[in-house]
Amino acid sequence: MMLRVCLISLFHTLTQVMAQEVKVECYRRNVLPEYHNISPSFLAALKLEPVTVENRMMVNVSWAVNIDASIGHLMGTLISMEGSEPYHCIYNPHLSTVNVTGSKKWFHHLFKVRFGSCFVSATNIPLPPQGSGTSYIYESINIRRPPSTTPVTTQYTQTPTEFTSVVTTTSYLRAESVTSLVFAGLTGLMILSSCYIFYKSCAANIAKSFGFKKLPQSAMAPVPVLIVYPAETPAFQQAVVALAEFLLCHGGCNVAIGMWQQGKIAELGPIRWLAEQVKVAERVLIVCPQPSLSKVNCSFSEPYISAASQDLYPLILNMVAGHAKSASDLARFWVVQLAEQQVKGPCNLPLELRACRTFCLMNDLKKLCKSLHAHRKNGKKISEVIAQLEISYSEKSTLKLTEAVKKHFQRVETSETVVRLV
């Protein structure tokens, strides 16, 4: 609000100043002035003063115009110098359109002169009717040549204090046009300021009301993650793929999984592909099924399991075992259990994975996402990263993953029932 008040005050002041500015423009005129039945008042005064501008002698001609009711008939002022064509000086804007204070207003213009006597006459135009007398006023001045021993220097003269000095210009840009441009600029500035304030205060809430979700900041680079899983049921594989899609779209991760790179695995071979992926990954997620399913999956294997998972899972177990002596290397390998609750026991996980950090889906999904980003050191506080992750996905975005995990649980229950019947 204070900014707007300041801008409005500035615009008002600038407008008032520009409204009072009257410029005089002088052009050579080779035709005689016209006579008219109605003419303006005679000039109030005429003064001459010699000046030196850039080593050139000139004369500053100053004249005063009466400000009265006849100012509306003023078409300009005619300045005549002996030995040259007269000059027609016009006022921009017209004196009748501005608020001029006082009984008269002074103007001036610089003219080139020669050394010696200089005779100047001036009159307002149009001229009064013929036979009514002369309207000219006259002044003369003697322009002396400076002594040859004295260097000519630039002099600056001060015009009489009783009149306002006006700068001569040949520009056709009127004060009204300048005022319009200034007003348009200030209006645009106020509109941009209002839009910026509205954006900062309301845009986030409006977007949230329409169902848009805030995504993680682009400055936070995705976490490279590798997912490896055993060859279990199709339901288990679908749950693993749903987890990979969730981490890719909503968890701020760059995910590599054998299901999506079977052609690359066939080209490089499982061992080389796995070694390269582990090298670039910051976290390796080893997904394990519900423990009870591992006891019966050999009897109910189905033909839709990725062939790569059959080779990659044993290889990752050997790789974990090879890093068991280094705590820092082992910390890169995490276990994700697709189980209704985490069950701790000697037979719950393969021996190689029992020292790894373990998460249980779906209970530990938020904890998993936070942990994947908590170790990043990119200039942000961990609390800021966690706050971004909490609003980067909603319950709707986890629906596909939740349904896939439930189908996996239903497959486990069905397998256990069949085993009991057998």
Residue whose structure tokens are 């040259």: 84
Residue whose structure tokens are 């801008």: 7
Q: What is the mean pLDDT of residues 129-148?
A: 80
Residue 178: pLDDT above 80? no
* Residue 334 contacts residue 320 (beta carbons within 8 Å): no
Give 344: exposed, middle or buried? Use CB within 10 Å, 0-12, 13-18, 19+. exposed
pLDDT reported for residue 62: 93
Pick the CATH number of 223-421 from 3.40.50.11530, 3.40.50.300, 3.40.50.2300, 3.40.50.1980: 3.40.50.11530
pLDDT reported for residue 206: 67
Nearest CA among 80, 88, 156, 157 for reference residue 118? 80
Tell me if the domain spanning 2-172 has CATH number 3.30.750.24: no
Tell which wins on pLDDT, 174 or 69: 69
Show me where the domains of the chain are located: 2-172, 223-421
- Split at pLDDT 50, 70, 90, the class of 164 is very low
Nearest CA among 373, 371, 369 for reference residue 385? 373
pLDDT tens-digit readout, 344-391: 554 578 888 888 999 998 888 889 988 888 876 554 555 555 555 554
Residue whose structure tokens are 């850039």: 54
Residue 107: pLDDT above 70? yes
pLDDT reported for residue 163: 42
Residue 208: pLDDT above 90? no
Nearest CA among 282, 149, 178, 289 for reference residue 226? 282
* Residue 364 contacts residue 334 (beta carbons within 8 Å): no
Residue 334: pLDDT above 70? yes
Contacts of 141 (CB under 8 A, 6+ apart): 48, 49, 50, 59, 117, 118, 120
Q: Which helix or strand (DSSP H or E) is residue 156 part of?
A: none
Residue 141: pLDDT above 50? yes
**pLDDT cut 90: percent of the chain above it:** 16
Across 12-16, 241-245, 385-389, the highest mean pLDDT is recorded for: 241-245
Residue 182: pLDDT above 90? no
User: In this structure, what are the phi and psi dihedrals at residue 62, rounded to the nearest 5 degrees?
Assistant: -120, 135
Contacts of 296 (CB under 8 A, 6+ apart): 415, 416, 418, 419
Contacts of 32 (CB under 8 A, 6+ apart): none
pLDDT reported for residue 81: 82
- Split at pLDDT 50, 70, 90, the class of 228 is very high
pLDDT reported for residue 31: 76
Arithmetic mean of pLDDT over the chain: 76
pLDDT tens-digit readout, 252-275: 899 999 989 888 988 888 999 999
3-state DSSP assignment of residue 317: helix
List the single range of 240-249, 264-273, 334-343, 386-395 with lowest mean pLDDT.
Answer: 386-395
Compute, in degrees rounded to 10, the torsion defined by CA atoms 15, 20, 21, 27.
Answer: 130
The reported pTM is 0.46
234-249 and 399-421 helices cross at what angle (nearest 10)? 160
pLDDT reported for residue 162: 43
pLDDT reported for residue 82: 76
Residue 166: pLDDT above 70? no
